[in-house]
Chain A
Amino acid sequence: MNSMVDVLVIGGGVAGMEAAGQLARSGYSVILAEKEPLTGGHLKNWYHLFPDRRDGNEVGEYLDNLVKNKNIEIRNNTCITGITGRKGKFTATASDGQVVEAEAVIVATGFDLFDSRRKEEYGYGIYPNVITSADLEKMFRNGSVKLADGGVPARIGFIHCVGSRDEKVGNLYCSKLCCITAVKQAMEVHEKISGVKTFCFYMDMRMGGAYYEEIYREAQEKYGVSFIRGKVSEVSQGYNGRLVIKAEDTLAGRPLRMELDMVVLMAGMEMSDAGEILAGKSSLRRGENRFFSTADNHTASNRSNMKGVFYAGTCTAPMNITESISHARAAVTEVVSYLREKKQRDE
């Protein structure tokens, strides 16, 4: 199947949907290629969003409505594996043999959550009550936070920076969202389980977004979440089946050992596999953090090293939903200018 459109958007997550929707509103024909059976990306699995704790579905609905546009053809189960460009036309191939031709391309391949099993010392996949932040969101969506044996946890620990700021796993960067996610999730478990005790083990609390600091404060004042500055070195299981963690409380200057019922790993963001595949079969450049590198950090954060190929969202760096949407809109502005200039030149 060979198709020709104005713009191919690769990736149907938040940034890809926003970019496709805005382009379609401006009258451009778009193919939105999503490797999964459904669009929506990671947002589909998220319960409440920070800082206002609104239901993630509301943003999902906004995006679904945005892409319901006659100018957009959504192609699910389509994994674009390579792009080549010639004479201002790009040819993209998918793993199932589909070929799409487009005047311009927006890459919105997003991120993958760090596979927490790689931090072997935390025992994810081995101890059933060690879960990830994404697993906890699923529990929230299903209405209850339960231990593997169906019991209710009385003590829950949140380990920050799992797979981020960690030389051992090769990720030096901060994933930006996991601190605030931990704060939000700790508050939410208090709302679901009365009398629960929660502990966040952090290196620094990075509360860099609007209203983040406020909810961090609320977590302490209203919910009594304990914040302990220090990394957890290992998780194991005691004779009574409870998890035992070892950490260092760097403010008190003491090693610490604690029994918990549940440990939540705040998994970081990594360049997605889909992005990796695309990078391997195109000339798109990547940075040391393995995300796509933009033409200019400040003035061209949507441009790639291939003229006519643009970036939107977390395929370039960790971003929250607000930033992903803004970045996608900025990508659309770039594409529109590029296509106009191209048209003028062609005429």
Chain B
Amino acid sequence: MNEPDKKRIWSEYQKEIADDHYFYVRSCIRQSFFPGSEQFFLHLIRDILGKDIYENPSHTTCTGIGYHTDIVPFQTIMTVVARHFALMKESGYKNIAISCVTSFGIYTEIIETWKHFPEELEKTREYLLKATGREFDIPENMAHTSDIVYKFRNEIASKAKFRLVNKKTGEPLKVVEHIGCHYSKMFPKYGVGGAEFPKVLSGMIEAWGGEVIDYPERRHCCGFGFRQYIVQANRGYSLSNSVKKFESMKPFKPDFIITNCPGCNMFMDKWQYTIREMEGRTYGENGLSIPVLTYEEVAGLVLGMNPWELGLQYHMVQPEPLLDKMGVEYSKSDKFITKDGKPLPAPEKLINV
């Protein structure tokens, strides 16, 4: 692969990412399945990087999953998003930080719709005013939370306790990055590095010492695809998409997968369990499965956070093989306990343990 030309493509899609004062909007999936990521993001921004980030307690779901399954009409979702913008305005913020690729896709789609069809913007203003008495401004800067981590990747690298390097061999860890279709496939200009050779996650991996794998199904869907999964009859389709991706990355021997989108993380993690149960097939080395981490989890490991405080144990594929490679120390007994030391029920069928 010709690196200079790849860099040229990346350099053509440089988006403006605000460097402070973020209005944070959470992700439904992340809060439910791996809340440690959002928790750590706020800690990273506030305490490690010393920035201002605010979340408004009245913030709700973006209704994106309802929208993508044809339950929530476009006018409704536009009004929901407009309400978030109204909360941002009322809170005195101009830079939105969106913690979910599905939501990010929704926000970009809506903002582009308003640009091209100003009458839709006017209608939305009217709906929101009638329904809630609120008014809103379009954000001055819109970033996905991974954009912000990307922006500060070198600061994170300078504070790193661990690098993405195999401690035993000294070789960089091999990483599959998956940005999620809704991050930049619809509107490449909103993503760092565009849609074809995106930089957002690979930039982090390189800054932290790892090596990104370019494999044939790199751009392929993780398998979630909303209807492919949510309509129960289609789930085989969802699974077969994931299989295609795993089969394609397997020969490159990835040490872990880093994801941008909560949906992708869930599916690439949990479908590995399903495939193993159904067919006995695994995609990591030595019969193991490939750990699937969010970018905050990877940043947290690099910065020396306790993996159990990051919540890595709440993925189906357990991270121990990766932690061992990186040389991260962890306690086996503390894995499933609460902060104040009480035992938590341990899931039964975790894999890689």
Q: A170 at interface (Cβ–Cβ under 8 A)?
A: no
Evaluate whether A126 and B252 lie within 8 angstroms (CB atoms) in the complex, with A236-B216, A238-B216 already known. no
Residues of chain A contacted by B252 (CB below 8 angstroms)? 239
> Which residues in chain B, 156-204, are within 8 Å of chain A measured between CB atoms?
194-197
Question: Is there an interface contact between B5 and A126, defined as CB atoms closer than 8 Å?
Answer: yes
Question: Is there an interface contact between B2 and A126, defined as CB atoms closer than 8 Å?
Answer: yes
Question: Is there an interface contact between A234 and B219, defined as CB atoms closer than 8 Å?
Answer: yes
Residues of chain B contacted by A120 (CB below 8 angstroms)? 9, 194-197
Residues of chain A contacted by B233 (CB below 8 angstroms)? none
Question: Is there an interface contact between B1 and A125, defined as CB atoms closer than 8 Å?
Answer: no
Evaluate whether A126 and B216 lie within 8 angstroms (CB atoms) in the complex, with A120-B194, A120-B197, A239-B251 already known. no
Which among A128, A236, A238, A239 is the interface contact of B2 at CB below 8 angstroms? A128
Residues of chain B contacted by A125 (CB below 8 angstroms)? 2, 5, 8
Residues of chain B contacted by A238 (CB below 8 angstroms)? 215-216
Question: Is there an interface contact between A237 and B214, defined as CB atoms closer than 8 Å?
Answer: yes
Question: Is there an interface contact between B216 and A117, defined as CB atoms closer than 8 Å?
Answer: no
CA distance A120 to B2 in the complex (A): 13
Q: B21 at interface (Cβ–Cβ under 8 A)?
A: no
Question: Is there an interface contact between B194 and A236, defined as CB atoms closer than 8 Å?
Answer: no
CA distance A237 to B232 in the complex (A): 34
Q: B6 at interface (Cβ–Cβ under 8 A)?
A: yes
CA distance A234 to B197 in the complex (A): 12
Question: Is there an interface contact between B1 and A117, defined as CB atoms closer than 8 Å?
Answer: no
Q: How far is the CB of A303 from chain B (nearest CB, A)?
A: 37
Q: B218 at interface (Cβ–Cβ under 8 A)?
A: yes
CA distance A128 to B214 in the complex (A): 14
Residue of A whose beta carbon sits closest to that of B195 = A120
Q: How far is the CB of A235 from chain B (nearest CB, A)?
A: 9
Q: A121 at interface (Cβ–Cβ under 8 A)?
A: yes
> Which residues in chain A, 207-256, are within 8 Å of chain B measured between CB atoms?
234, 236-239, 244
CA distance A128 to B2 in the complex (A): 7
Highest count of chain A CB atoms <10 Å: which of B2, B195, B215, B216: B216
Residue of A whose beta carbon sits closest to that of B197 = A120
Evaluate whether A236 and B214 lie within 8 angstroms (CB atoms) in the complex, with A125-B2, A127-B1 already known. yes
Question: Is there an interface contact between A126 and B219, defined as CB atoms closer than 8 Å?
Answer: no
CA distance A68 to B8 in the complex (A): 43
Question: Is there an interface contact between B5 and A236, defined as CB atoms closer than 8 Å?
Answer: no
> Which residues in chain A, 112-148, are within 8 Å of chain B measured between CB atoms?
117, 120-121, 125-128
Residues of chain A contacted by B196 (CB below 8 angstroms)? 120-121, 234
Residues of chain B contacted by A126 (CB below 8 angstroms)? 1-2, 5-6, 9, 197
Residue of B whose beta carbon sits closest to that of A243 = B216
CA distance A305 to B194 in the complex (A): 40
CA distance A163 to B77 in the complex (A): 36
Question: Is there an interface contact between A239 and B5, defined as CB atoms closer than 8 Å?
Answer: no
Residues of chain B contacted by A128 (CB below 8 angstroms)? 2
CA distance A284 to B171 in the complex (A): 60
CA distance A236 to B252 in the complex (A): 14
Residues of chain B contacted by A127 (CB below 8 angstroms)? 1-2
Residues of chain B contacted by A117 (CB below 8 angstroms)? 5, 8-9
CA distance A117 to B217 in the complex (A): 20
Interface flags, A11-42, vs B, CB<8A=1, else 0: 00000000000000000000000000000000
Evaluate whether A244 and B5 lie within 8 angstroms (CB atoms) in the complex, with A120-B196, A239-B251 already known. no
Highest count of chain B CB atoms <10 Å: which of A121, A128, A238: A238
Q: How far is the CB of A126 from chain B (nearest CB, A)?
A: 5
Residues of chain A contacted by B197 (CB below 8 angstroms)? 120, 126
CA distance A120 to B216 in the complex (A): 15
What are 26 A-B pairs with beta-carbon distances under 8 A? Answer: A117-B5, A117-B8, A120-B194, A120-B195, A120-B196, A120-B197, A121-B219, A125-B2, A125-B5, A125-B8, A126-B1, A126-B2, A126-B5, A126-B9, A127-B1, A127-B2, A128-B2, A236-B214, A236-B215, A236-B216, A236-B218, A237-B214, A237-B216, A238-B216, A239-B215, A239-B251
List 3 A-B pairs, minimum CB-CB distance, nearest first: A125-B5, A120-B196, A239-B251
